[in-house]
Amino acid sequence: MRLTRRGLLIGGAAGGGLLVAWALTPRHFPQELPLKDGEFAFGAWLAIARTGIVTVAVPQLEMGQGVSTLLAQVVAMELGADWRKVAAVPAPISGAYANAVLAADWAPLWMPLASGLAEGEDSRMARGFAERERFMATAGGTSLAAYEGPARLAAAAARELLCRAAAARWDVAWTECKAAGGFVSHGNRRAGFGDLAEDAAGHDLPGDPALGPAPAEPAAGTGTAFPRIDLPALAEGSARFAGDIRLEGMVFAAIRHAPVGQAAALGTVDESRAGGVRLVHGSDWLAAVGPTWWAADQALARVAPAFKVSRPVDTSRIEAALDQAVKKARTERIATLGDPEGAMGEGPPSLIARYDIAPALHATLETASCTARLEGGRLELWLATQSPETSRRAAARALGLNPRDVVLYPMPAGGSFDARLDTPHAVEAALIAREVGKPVQLVWSRWQEQVAGKPRPPAAAVLWARTRESAQGQGGEVISWHTRIATPAAAREFGRRLFGGEAPAAALAASAGEADPLALSGAVPPYGLAHFALDHVPVVTGIPAGRMRGNGHAMTAFFTESFVDELARAAGREPLSYRIAMLGGDLRLAECLQQCATLAGWDAGADASGQGLACHRLGPAHDPEGTRAGRIAVIATARQDAAGVRVEKITAVADIGRIVNRDLARQQIEGGLVFGLGLTLGASTSWARGLPVAERLSQLSLPVLGNTPEIVVAFVESTAPPVDPGELGVVAVAPAIANALHSATGVRFRKLPLFAEEV
């Protein structure tokens, strides 16, 4: 990535103007939380109405993971609110809600030449960057890590002011007042939050409010005391998404994108075939605008736009590039432990294995959609985005506007899986609105979602190890382990788009040949290895790469845990005890493995049992002790039948630290397991002449309710810092199923997805 003036000067800026304490927030950021009549703000995070309703600002995209409930619960528990009177609203774009934790995790993307200076949970440099850039991105499982602390401080400050207001009325010491259930009480007297809100809001927020116990739900009980805030609206169908917006005079747009290639441009268009529907030309797309989306889409079908594409993407070339790279290309060393080359010694390794992963599609329920209105030099966008400020700036840049003249109304997403970190449809909608002079709603069809979406990149890996022989039947101890992974520099490429505003083709070209540790996240095994080497072989596939739920961990866990299983089998060792013996000091992961084995009725992976085991640790690279890491162990039961692969049961035990909302945590692990199942058995396509072969969801072999296996989830009780479970459930499913199929069939499966014809 090129050195930018911003990257060069950021070190100097980090020394001044930083938010050091929460109490300084009002002096740095104006109050931007929108208020209704009768509502009173308590800092940037919450407002209390005369009715007693507590409204919490949520600075993360709600895309089904329940973050609006989770952060509202954190505030409610600290404040002492009545959950029945708590509401959540999307937070305005502001540095007050900066995601400094994610900025630190992604420091190699926005400051690649000296990223170590900005990494770490308490990095002042990362916080300064995130606040200046209004970086509120939802990704990487950082919602709790980034926002639990500020939300609790805001709620504690509001609680103190409410107690002070009540104490002034009753002429008592405020420290003797208690807040619970939406009331402040002192002895037999009590007053509701709504009655006290106006008086309380008239005082300055305390600089150092006292916090209560850390929010956590006990293991006992059958459910949560904090059901999802958005559940009623979702159940009755009143929840509004970007495609539900209706504006006066609005028209509807459909679009066709160019095939994927080295360069693409829209060719000549015969507008006479549009049937009177307005056409809007883009550099590599054509849109039609009509009174309904269907009318616009049918006009495009009649026009059938042609595109000029050089070197269109083809699956055979992708596979050839990966094959050549993993075998012969120059490698970039990413991580080293001990002396891996010396410990490997001369001669062939004890075991060597090759694994392959095809590109994966996000397959979200809601396709990309955006509503745009441009009036009087002011652009309004109704959009689901995981990075709102980036989307706002991209639209402003496309229209030549100042970003201050772009208003973004954050909408929930019907699934994202990181697809909405890229929002080119927002730029397209803005350009179309400018051309037609009316509010426009652009919706991508499922086919266009697959054509223009950015899939998880493919990868090929070769793993080899030297093991120690033993006459006592305890062979297989790893002496030296090497992992070589050929995959695009996907994180570098994504960072150029997100932080540099580069076009996909330019970001793809600029990232060619770059070593990319973030693209190989999780490739360092969680085991106590004395000698280990990890090498990256950057590959250019021609397809712009996107982030996906689980990201690098979901690929590298497949490589590592499949290889561990092969090592255990080659040594004649039982897979569970073999892993535990290798774990070294990670007692938390060992506990996950042991509890999972008990819960699943582990049969030691006996031949033809159909049980397979895998585990993984997921956390930031700059946290070698795993303090912020989640752990999971998965046992799958899978068999071969006439239909191909049948997964009968998945059992998972996770350690996610302190559990704030047990129902949400379970839902996220279960959802991750099902998503991982989809990546294992499908969610992929081949490409021909720059176009994906799969056009519909039905062609992606995704699990449906009828073939979703029995799922059992349990948690290791822990007081460690909480970890977001949203991505953890995805990572270990594929190797567990592959290992289960080996147990059931005696055949080792080393390629994802596992199509039925391969079984």
pLDDT in tens, 226-260: 999 999 999 999 999 999 999 999 999 999 999 99
Domain edges within the chain: 5-215, 242-311+368-443, 315-360+455-758
> Fold identical between 5-215 and 242-311+368-443?
yes
Does residue 13 surpass a pLDDT of 50? no
Give me the pLDDT at residue 28, please.
61
Over the stretch 629-638, which tens digit does the pLDDT of each residue have? Answer: 999 999 999 9
Smallest CA-to-CA distance from 428 within 385, 390, 381, 388 is with 381
Say if residue 750's pLDDT is above 90: yes
574 has a pLDDT exceeding 50:
yes
**For all residues of the chain together, what is the average pLDDT?**
92
In angstroms, the CA 310 to CA 306 distance is: 13
Transcribe 364-398 into DSSP letters.
Answer: -SSPPEEEEEEETTEEEEEE--SSHHHHHHHHHHH
Question: What pLDDT does residue 544 have?
Answer: 96
Residues 6 or more apart whose CB falls under 8 angstroms from that of 510 comprise 1, 2, 493, 496, 502
Element counts in the chain: helices (H) and strands (E): 23, 28
Tell me the average pLDDT across 396-404: 97
One-letter amino acid at 706 equals G
- Taking Cα atoms as reference points, which of 733, 609, 720 lies closest to residue 678? 733
Structure confidence at residue 21 as a pLDDT band (50, 70, 90):
very low
Confidence of residue 24 (pLDDT cuts 50, 70, 90): very low
pLDDT band per the 50, 70, 90 thresholds, residue 528: very high
Q: Which residues contact 371 (CB under 8 A, 6 or more apart)?
A: 242, 243, 245, 247, 250, 381, 382, 383, 429, 439, 440, 441, 442
User: Looking at domain 242-311+368-443, which CATH architecture does it have?
Assistant: 2-Layer Sandwich (3.30)
CATH classification code of 315-360+455-758: 3.30.365.10
Contact (CB, 8 A) for 124 and 18? yes
Each residue's pLDDT tens digit, 659-699: 999 999 999 999 999 999 999 999 999 999 999 999 999 99
Position 757 scores a pLDDT of 44
Least confident interval from 116-120, 235-239, 269-273, 667-671: 116-120
pLDDT at 644: 77
Q: Tell me the percentage of the chain whose pLDDT exceeds 70.
A: 94
Taking the alpha carbons of 383, 385, 389, 391 in that order, is the dihedral positive or negative? negative
Question: For residues 52 and 38, what is the distance between their CA atoms, to the nearest angstrom?
Answer: 10
pLDDT digits (tens, 9 = 90+) for 37-56: 999 999 999 999 999 999 99
Mean pLDDT of 492-520: 96
Using pLDDT thresholds of 50, 70 and 90, give the confidence band for residue 9. Answer: very low
Q: Determine the 3-state secondary structure of 197 from DSSP.
A: helix
Output the pLDDT for position 635. 98
CATH code, 5-215: 3.30.365.10
Contact between 166 and 182 under an 8 Å Cβ cutoff? The reply is: no
Confidence at 562, pLDDT banded by 50, 70, 90: very high
Q: How far is CA 655 from CA 353, 391, 674, 716, in A?
A: 30, 35, 19, 5
Q: Where residue 626 falls among pLDDT bands split at 50, 70, 90?
A: confident
Kindly tell me if the per-residue pLDDT of 280 is higher than 70.
yes
User: What's the pTM value of the predicted model, to 2 decimals?
Assistant: 0.94
Residue 403: pLDDT above 80? Answer: yes
> For position 222, what pLDDT does the model report?
63
Closest by CA position to 490, among listed 508, 505, 503 = 508
State the pLDDT at residue 469.
79
